[in-house]
């Protein structure tokens, strides 16, 4: 697997595939981007093949193609990155843009976390073990992103900033391994005690 490199606009030029999403806009002026939000997604849940997640983020998912997709109709969401279980990385939104991943959320008294965060979706579920390569690729990705956005400081799960509403990345997400992977790369993000 090759390392990651971004262009001046915050899009990958190495290490992943760009798939620009229409579900994104600008961050507020002077937003201090200091947060990374870890999510999981798989469509249908527990299915780790096909293009449904990419299609959802690109606004082209056929919501009649699976009965569990019915409530996704009209949903406009995205994330900066999607890390598949193979280690493949897709980028939907540039680092400096606002991806629509967190929804109603709050971190350290600040609402609307999309304004000041990067959103990373790992292909998975709350209960199945993640693939080791997903964790190492995510750490590589975050180390490269932090070279572009030096204000990045915190890392949380979606459930940490939208408790009661969201459960991802779930009990199967190995926080100690993720934090160790980041540390090995000199990317010192902190998970605040909640
Ligand atoms: Zn989420």
Identify whether 167 is part of a domain.
yes
Dist. CA 15 → ligand 1 center (Å)? 23
Identify whether 78 is part of a domain.
yes
Count Cβ atoms within 10 A of the Cβ of residue 193 and give its class: 0-12 exposed, 13-18 middle, 19 or more buried.
Answer: exposed
Annotated catalytic residues are 121
Identify whether 193 is part of a domain.
no
Q: Is residue 156 within 8 Å of residue 98, measured between CB atoms?
A: no
Identify whether 189 is part of a domain.
no
**pLDDT of 43-97, one tens digit each?**
999 999 999 999 999 999 999 999 999 999 999 999 999 999 999 999 999 999 9
Instruction: Show the domain range for 173.
Output: 5-184
Dist. CA 44 → ligand 1 center (Å)? 15
Dist. CA 101 → ligand 1 center (Å)? 7
194 pLDDT more than 60: no
- Output the domain CATH number for residue 115: 3.40.80.10
Identify whether 79 is part of a domain.
yes
Number of domains in the chain: 1
């Amino acid at each position: 697997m090759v390392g990651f490199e971004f262009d001046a606009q915050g899009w990958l030029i190495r290490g992943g595939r760009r798939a620009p999403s229409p579900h994104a806009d600008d961050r507020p002026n002077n937003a201090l981007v200091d947060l990374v939000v870890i999510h999981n997604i798989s469509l249908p849940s527990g299915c780790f093949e096909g293009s449904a997640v990419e299609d959802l983020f690109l606004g082209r998912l056929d919501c009649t193609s699976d009965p569990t997709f019915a409530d996704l109709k009209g949903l406009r969401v995205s994330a900066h990155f999607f890390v598949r279980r193979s280690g493949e990385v897709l980028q939907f939104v540039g680092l400096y843009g606002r991806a629509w991943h967190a929804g109603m959320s709050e971190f350290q008294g600040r609402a609307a976390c999309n304004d000041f965060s990067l959103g990373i979706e790992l292909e998975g579920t709350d209960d199945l073990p993640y693939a080791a390569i997903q964790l190492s690729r995510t750490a590589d990705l975050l180390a490269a992103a932090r070279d572009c956005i030096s204000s990045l400081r915190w890392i949380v799960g979606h459930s940490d900033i939208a408790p009661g509403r969201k459960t991802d990345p779930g009990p199967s997400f190995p926080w100690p391994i993720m934090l160790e992977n980041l540390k090995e790369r000199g990317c010192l993000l902190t998970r605040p005690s909640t």
